[in-house]
């Protein structure tokens, strides 16, 4: 009887976990105001830029009408998979519940015009990725340039679900944070790697302040992000459709001066952290989006950041880069995150099936 119960529990568990084998790759989509891009991240650390898909009128309109959430964000953790090694059963149980909850919300999620505008784009990105992989995909993660409401994320998730795509992440941070992750701007700390011998005794990496600038024809989206021990939190968001390349190119009221003033007030320091300490220095700069190479943007950033621009820009194009195309920086970061989560889920499924086998052999031994 107990064995049948265990077996059915396992069957249910496997049903709810799409990936039980070790994950070979993760897929990431980045939705900008006018286009979407897709990347794949392989378990050997290689990332591939798949495609840039131009959006249609309904997509563009929907992306422009999406509400930009201001207010405090939930922190984004990059050390997700390490929870397993550190071994907090409670965290695993919590995460397990979360994914069942996610599935339920997928089924009940609302489908309206937003979903109809998103669907062709997500479908095209999925098809392009499948054509590259020559295999069908069942999971992908999606980010947008700015923080969005839970309601919007629900629509995104249910649209993916209608395309047979499961999203492993439950609360996506804005694209800039994933681009910073793709560039490897992830601090190491003993608290996270406590149980891994090699890291012991090393000083923690300091907290860093990262400026991310997502620049496209349609908009400027900047984030001021605090990173410590692989945990990212945005503190300020600037999203302005009049400051994109199109907005600044003739026929409109905005000009270079507006861009300078917007970035100047946005990067005004110091910024207070949670402990009341002051962060007075931007230590990293990440440029992303189709127009990240725009000369006017670079000139303005030089004006705003002064001498630091060259140093920061060198950091970005120096040791960190891995030669990342700014157009694909966020989709690459989110593909890596997707892989991490699938890998974690498969380890977790392994733990469950190991437990099951153990219990089964216990049962046999006592018979
Ligand atoms: C990583 O794996 C992918 C897919 O199997 C392959 O195309 C790529 O060449 C590999 N990269 C390296 C550096 O081995």
Q: Residue 348: its pLDDT value, please? A: 79
* Percent of the chain clearing pLDDT 90 (strictly above): 51
For 97-132, give one letter per residue: b (16+ CB within 10 A) or e. eebeebbebbeebeeeebbebbbebbebbbbbbeee
**Ligand 1 center to residue 168 CA distance, Å?**
23
- Domain assignment present for 234: yes
Average pLDDT over residues 225-249: 92
Beta strand pairing status for 208-215 and 220-228?
antiparallel
Q: Residue 51: its pLDDT value, please? A: 98
The CATH number covering residue 13 comes to: 3.30.420.40
- Domain assignment present for 271: yes
**Ligand 1 center to residue 48 CA distance, Å?**
9
Query: Across all residues in the chain, what is the average pLDDT?
Result: 80
**Ligand 1 center to residue 45 CA distance, Å?**
8
- 264 vs 344: which has the higher pLDDT: 264
pTM for the full model?
0.81
Provide the pLDDT confidence category of residue 39 given band limits of 50, 70 and 90. very high
Q: Are 182 and 332 within 8 A, CB to CB?
A: yes
With a cut of 80, say whether residue 120 has pLDDT above it.
yes
Q: Residue 105: its pLDDT value, please? A: 40
Closest-CA residue, ligand 1 atom 5, reads: 42
Provide the pLDDT confidence category of residue 102 given band limits of 50, 70 and 90. very low
- Domain assignment present for 341: yes
Closest-CA residue, ligand 1 atom 8, reads: 46
Q: What is the pLDDT of residues 41-50, one digit of tens each?
A: 999 999 999 9
Q: What is the pLDDT of residues 17-33, one digit of tens each?
A: 444 457 899 999 999 99
DSSP letters spanning 79-112: -TTHHHHHT-HHHHHHHHHHHHHHHHHHHH---S
Q: Residue 90: its pLDDT value, please? A: 34
Provide the pLDDT confidence category of residue 242 given band limits of 50, 70 and 90. very high
Pick the range with the lowest mean pLDDT from 179-183, 240-244, 292-296, 353-357: 353-357
Closest-CA residue, ligand 1 atom 13, reads: 46
Q: Residue 200: its pLDDT value, please? A: 54
Q: Residue 103: its pLDDT value, please? A: 39
Average pLDDT over residues 280-294: 93
- Domain assignment present for 363: no
Provide the pLDDT confidence category of residue 10 given band limits of 50, 70 and 90. low
Average pLDDT over residues 173-196: 82
Q: Residue 78: its pLDDT value, please? A: 79
- Domain assignment present for 362: no
- Domain assignment present for 30: yes
- 170 vs 1: which has the higher pLDDT: 170
Q: Residue 83: its pLDDT value, please? A: 41
With a cut of 90, say whether residue 59 has pLDDT above it.
yes
> In the structure, which protein residues have their CB atom closer than 6 angstroms to any atom of ligand 1?
42, 44, 46
- Domain assignment present for 117: yes
Q: Residue 361: its pLDDT value, please? A: 61
Closest-CA residue, ligand 1 atom 14, reads: 44
Domain region containing 119: 2-352
Provide the pLDDT confidence category of residue 106 given band limits of 50, 70 and 90. very low
Average pLDDT over residues 290-298: 94
**Ligand 1 center to residue 345 CA distance, Å?**
22
With a cut of 70, say whether residue 217 has pLDDT above it.
yes
Q: Residue 5: its pLDDT value, please? A: 57
- Domain assignment present for 34: yes
With a cut of 70, say whether residue 358 has pLDDT above it.
no
SS (H, E, C) 300-365: HHHHHHCCHHHHHHHHHHCCCCCCCCHHHHHHHHHHHHHHHHHHHHHHHHHHHHHHHHHHHHHHHH
Q: How far is CA 363 from CA 17, 124, 249, 267, 360, in A?
A: 26, 50, 74, 63, 5
Provide the domain count of the chain: 1
* Percent of the chain clearing pLDDT 70 (strictly above): 72
């Amino acid at each position: 009887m107990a064995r049948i119960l265990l077996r059915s529990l396992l069957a249910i568990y496997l049903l709810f976990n799409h990936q039980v084998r070790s994950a070979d790759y993760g897929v990431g989509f980045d939705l900008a105001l006018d286009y979407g891009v897709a990347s794949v991240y392989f378990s050997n650390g290689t990332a591939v830029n798949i495609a840039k898909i131009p959006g249609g009128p309904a997509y563009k309109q929907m992306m422009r009408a999406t509400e930009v959430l201001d207010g405090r964000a939930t922190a984004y953790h990059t050390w997700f998979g390490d929870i397993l090694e550190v071994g907090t059963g409670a965290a695993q149980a919590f995460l397990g519940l979360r994914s069942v909850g996610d599935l339920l919300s997928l089924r009940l999620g609302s489908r309206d015009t937003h979903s109809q505008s998103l669907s062709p784009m997500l479908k095209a990105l999925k098809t392009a990725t499948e054509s590259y992989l020559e295999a069908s995909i069942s999971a992908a993660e999606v980010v947008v340039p700015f923080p969005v409401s839970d309601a919007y994320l629900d629509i995104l998730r249910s649209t993916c679900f209608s395309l047979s795509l499961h999203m492993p992440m439950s609360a996506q941070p804005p694209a800039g944070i994933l681009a910073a992750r793709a560039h490897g701007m992830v601090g190491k700390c003993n608290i996270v790697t406590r149980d891994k011998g090699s890291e012991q005794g090393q000083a923690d990496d300091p907290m860093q302040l990262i400026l991310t600038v997502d620049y496209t024809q349609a908009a400027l989206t900047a984030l001021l992000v605090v990173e410590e021990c692989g945990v990212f939190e945005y503190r300020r968001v600037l999203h302005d459709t009049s400051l994109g390349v199109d907005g600044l190119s003739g026929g409109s009221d905005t000009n270079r001066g507006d861009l300078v003033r917007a970035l100047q007030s946005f990067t005004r320091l110091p910024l207070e952290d949670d402990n009341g300490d002051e962060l007075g220095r931007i230590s990293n700069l990440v440029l992303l989006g189709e127009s990240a190479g725009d000369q006017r943007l670079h000139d303005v950033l030089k004006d705003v950041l002064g001498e630091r621009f060259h140093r920061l820009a060198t950091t970005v194009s120096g040791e960190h880069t891995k030669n990342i195309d700014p157009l694909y920086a966020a989709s690459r970061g989110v593909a890596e995150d997707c892989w991490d989560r699938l890998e974690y889920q498969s380890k977790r499924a392994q733990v469950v099936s190991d437990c099951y086998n153990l219990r089964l052999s216990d049962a046999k031994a006592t018979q």
